[in-house]
């Protein structure tokens, strides 16, 4: 087995990395691809990208199963230097692409277990998993894996979304719908309800009964109107405080439909009146800078409905902001 240094200097890989950004393997930002736990042990990366190509849990427009591939390749500018943070993120951190969980269509329980298992292989080694969905149901297995790795009750959630995703069940009583993952996380005990904070909610769902349940769980939420009235920075600071009211670590979940559809047309459930990319990217950066981020997902990118890769590029940049912030605060990533 090649060492990390040998693999990085392999002539073929080096030519691909040094060449045009559209050349070479379709890994996230062209980082090295790993596939086995033994390779994680050998490489000891700081961050591992994991794909969760599952969208059989959608209730509206499908296509998010193609999200991981689209998001991985939706950037043609090498991320050599972050202008605001003044850091070269990929020089500071070792980032790898750990491939996709095997999600066979029509098998939701098996797909979720594959996602949970693959994310756990990363998180249990104190490597930060950055998971690309897939519909939002994948947050249930992904965040569960992270909570199990760090200890239930020790991980709080900050969740950016137009929708609460706290439904009791989808159509026909389907418990693993993309409208239900946050309820499943709380009911299972993976994430405490009073440390589950949602940002950007708007529109016409869910109704009073669901919000009553959320209140019973002591969840906290910040509607889009609050972001407009008080400002994104103040609301995000409050969300961090609420999520860390007890826990030590943060899991960050970003549904791309938190953005206004003008910035994210390629998604399954677009909701007008959302955030702007600049505000979301700064929010992600501040969360990663100010907390101990131990896991993150970006979900609901549906390439068939995208135009000019706008949605995929914004999702790609969400992940880059988190990586850059982690690089800026190198040495404060969670330890056992």
Query: pLDDT (tens digit, 9 = 90+) per residue, 247-262?
Result: 999 999 999 999 999 9
d(CA 285, CA 322): 6
User: How many beta carbons lie within 10 A of that of residue 248, not counting itself?
Assistant: 15
Q: Among 321, 224, 257, which residue's Cα sits nearest to residue 67?
A: 257
Query: pLDDT (tens digit, 9 = 90+) per residue, 92-149?
Result: 999 999 999 999 999 999 999 999 999 999 999 999 999 999 999 999 999 999 999 9
State pTM to two decimals.
0.94
pLDDT of res. 25: 80
Query: pLDDT (tens digit, 9 = 90+) per residue, 44-64?
Result: 999 999 999 999 999 989 999
d(CA 279, CA 296): 18
The matching CATH number, chosen from 3.40.800.10, 3.40.50.10860, 3.40.50.1110, 3.40.50.300, for 4-328 is 3.40.800.10
Radius of gyration of the chain (CA): 18
d(CA 21, CA 75): 8
The per-type count for the chain, helices as H runs and strands as E runs, is 13, 8
Query: pLDDT (tens digit, 9 = 90+) per residue, 207-255?
Result: 999 999 999 999 999 999 999 999 999 999 999 999 999 999 999 999 9
The residues spanned by each domain of the chain are: 4-328
What is the four-CA torsion angle of 266, 268, 272, 273, rounded to 10 degrees? Answer: -80
pLDDT of res. 19: 72
């Amino acid at each position: 087995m090649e060492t990390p240094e040998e693999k990085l200097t392999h002539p073929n890989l080096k030519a691909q990395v040094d060449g045009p950004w559209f050349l070479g393997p379709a890994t996230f930002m062209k980082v090295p691809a790993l596939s086995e736990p033994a390779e994680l042990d050998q490489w000891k990366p700081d961050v591992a990208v994991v794909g969760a190509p599952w969208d059989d849990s959608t209730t509206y427009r499908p296509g998010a199963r193609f999200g991981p591939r689209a998001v991985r390749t939706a950037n043609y500018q090498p991320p050599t230097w972050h202008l605001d943070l003044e850091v070269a993120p990929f020089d500071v951190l070792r980032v790898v692409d750990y491939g996709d969980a095997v999600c066979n269509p029509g098998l939701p329980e098996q797909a979720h277990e594959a996602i949970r298992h693959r994310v756990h292989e990363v998180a249990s080694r104190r490597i930060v998993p950055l998971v690309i969905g897939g519909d939002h149901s994948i947050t249930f297995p992904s965040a569960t894996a992270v909570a199990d790795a760090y200890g239930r009750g020790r991980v709080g959630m900050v969740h950016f979304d137009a929708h609460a995703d706290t439904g009791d069940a989808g159509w026909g009583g389907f418990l693993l719908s993309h409208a239900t993952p946050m309820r499943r996380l709380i009911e299972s005990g993976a994430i405490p309800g009073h440390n589950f904070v949602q940002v950007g909610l708007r529109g016409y769902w869910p109704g009073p009964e669901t919000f009553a349940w959320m209140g019973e769980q002591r969840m906290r939420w910040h509607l889009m109107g609050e972001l407009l009235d008080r400002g994104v920075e103040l609301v995000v600071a409050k969300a961090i405080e609420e999520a860390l009211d007890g826990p030590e670590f943060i899991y960050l979940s970003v549904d791309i439909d938190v953005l206004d559809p003008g910035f994210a047309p390629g998604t399954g459930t677009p909701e007008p009146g959302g955030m702007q990319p600049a505000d979301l990217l700064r929010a992600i950066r501040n969360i990663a800078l100010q907390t101990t981020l131990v896991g993150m997902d970006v979900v609901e990118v549906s390439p068939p409905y995208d135009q000019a890769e706008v949605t995929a590029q914004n999702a790609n940049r969400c992940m880059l902001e988190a990586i850059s912030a982690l690089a800026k605060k190198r040495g404060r990533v969670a330890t056992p």
